[in-house]
Amino acid sequence: MMQIIIGIGVVLVLVILFMIFRIGNLVGLVEEVKTKVGSGNKINAFLFMAFMVLSLLLFFWYSFAHFKKYTLPVASEHGKITDDLFWITMGICVVAFTIIFIAMFWFTYKYQYQEGRKAEFVADNHKLEILWTLVPAVVMALLIFKGLRVWNDITGPASKDAVVIELVGQQWTWTARYPGPKDEELGKIDFRLIDPTNEFGLDLSDKNSFDDFKSQTLHLPVDKEVLLKIRAKDVLHSVFLPHFRVKMDAVPGMQTVFKFIPKKTTQQMRDETGNPNFNYEMACTEICGKGHFSMRFPVVVDDDETYMKWKNSQESWLKQNPDYLKFVPANLREFAMIKSGIAPDNGSQQQGVVQSVTTIK
């Protein structure tokens, strides 16, 4: 019943609007005979002016009043530089935008139609054309120059002692793999070795893989160069660390890298923002299916000491999955057990563990 009444109401409103339109139309016909350009011209000219003033006021007010709300604190070294470049570009753009915006709507208002006036026949002006070709060109050149220098620094090779961490994207989670503290080298992987347990596809014939460990949180040391090695298992994903101004796609079949230096620990950030619950986060920014929006990966930045403590306390992947010792070539098995921490690093107990493994087999 209610729906029918609403329906009738809507129809009535539409009919009334239509009637108003018809009457306006007929009146317009009579007016139109007298003057070719009606009063609507003045109203529209005024509206353009009003639009210009109001929209600029709104733009500047919101941009200043809510500055904190839409800017993210920056926590990496290169992030400060790219932010600077962003705000330099912003300065240039806002000045240029405001001038052109005002000029355009001011002309629109000022040169509205007037009976009997004739527009000025100005077809071109080479000096002006050259001027407004050269000025943007020079400004652009400066921006490019600065931008490319920064870009080269960011994308240049990482230093040899950078902390290497592997990030793996899959539908719809991230995992991190750290090289174990024993060798600081990531072991080889092969996508054909992936199974529900061996989610990295660790190649256990490679010695370096024995002490690699998995983490469900990205732990980073502060003030040290970090080199992210990024890959994906199924479709494209993209690593996005908003506070560190880091973004790089994860591509199946191709490793990508991004290096950066975190400058603030999670705790420092909490103090600085006054938000005791502040946490760094990592997101996915490449469409990857239904769970794209839920690929959150927690990030923690620690001071060096805490970071090392955390790293040394992690169990290697092989220790967590001792069944996989069977994939280690026989001659390396003992070494694997020591390196992965399955067997404590002393001669007496080793023998026993080897035996137990062989009996399992």
Partner 1 sequence: MATIDIHVHTEVHHHDDHEEHDHHGNFWTSYIFCQDHKVIAKQFLITGMAWALIGGVLSVIFRLQLGFPDAKLEWLRPLLGGWLTSDGKIDPEFYLALVTMHGTIMVFFVLTAGLSGTFSNFLIPLQVGARDMASGFMNMLSYWFFFLSSAVMFTSLFISTGPAGGGWTVYPPLSALPQAVQGSGLGMTLWLVSMALFIVSTLLGGINYITTIINMRTQGMSFTRLPLTIWAFFFTAIIGLLSFPVLFGAALLLIFDRSFGTSFYLSDIYIAGEALPHVGGSPILFQHLFWFLGHPEVYIVLLPALGITSEIIATNSRKPIFGYKAMVGSMLFITILSFVVWAHHMFVTGMNPFLGSIFTLLTLIIAVPSAVKIFNYVTTLWKGNIKFTSAMMFSIGLVSFFLTGGITGLFLGNSAVDIQLHDTYFVVAHFHLVMGSASFFGMIAGIYHWFPKMFGRMMDERLGSIHFWMTFVGVYLVFFPMHYIGIAGFPRRYYSWTNFETFSSFADLNMLVSIAAIVTLSAQFIFLFNFFYSIFRGRLASANPWDSNTIEWTTPRHPKHGNWPGDIPTVYRWPYDYSKPGAKEDYIPQTIPYSETPESNLPHENELIKLEMGNTGAIVIDEKKH
Give me the sign of the Cα torsion angle 79, 82, 86, 87. positive
Please tell me the distance from the alpha carbon of residue 173 to that of residue 291, in angstroms, as a whole number: 9
CB closer to partner 1, 154 vs 332:
154
- Lay out the sheet containing 213-215: strands in order across: 213-215, 173-178, 163-170, 226-232, 256-260
CB closer to partner 1, 155 vs 351:
155
Nearest Cα to Cα of residue 207 among 342, 346, 356, 338: 338
CB closer to partner 1, 31 vs 184:
31
In 187-222, which positions are buried (b, 16+ CB within 10 angstroms) versus exposed (e)? bebeeebbeeebbbbbbbebbbbbbbbbbeebbbbb
Please tell me the distance from the alpha carbon of residue 90 to that of residue 160, in angstroms, as a whole number: 36
Phi/psi at 248 (5° precision): -155, 135
Instruction: Work out how close the CB of 285 gets to partner 1 at its nearest, in angstroms, rounded to a whole number.
Output: 4
Instruction: Work out how close the CB of 35 gets to partner 1 at its nearest, in angstroms, rounded to a whole number.
Output: 12
Instruction: Work out how close the CB of 328 gets to partner 1 at its nearest, in angstroms, rounded to a whole number.
Output: 21
Instruction: Work out how close the CB of 158 gets to partner 1 at its nearest, in angstroms, rounded to a whole number.
Output: 13
CB closer to partner 1, 272 vs 345:
272
Instruction: Work out how close the CB of 137 gets to partner 1 at its nearest, in angstroms, rounded to a whole number.
Output: 5
Helix or strand holding residue 170 (H, E): strand 163-170
CB closer to partner 1, 21 vs 335:
21
Cα distances (Å, whole numbers) of residue 135 to 96, 124, 128, 129: 11, 18, 11, 10
Instruction: Work out how close the CB of 99 gets to partner 1 at its nearest, in angstroms, rounded to a whole number.
Output: 10
Instruction: Work out how close the CB of 287 gets to partner 1 at its nearest, in angstroms, rounded to a whole number.
Output: 5
The single-letter DSSP state of residue 208 is G
CB closer to partner 1, 257 vs 354:
257
CB closer to partner 1, 8 vs 95:
95
Nearest Cα to Cα of residue 214 among 316, 312, 282: 316
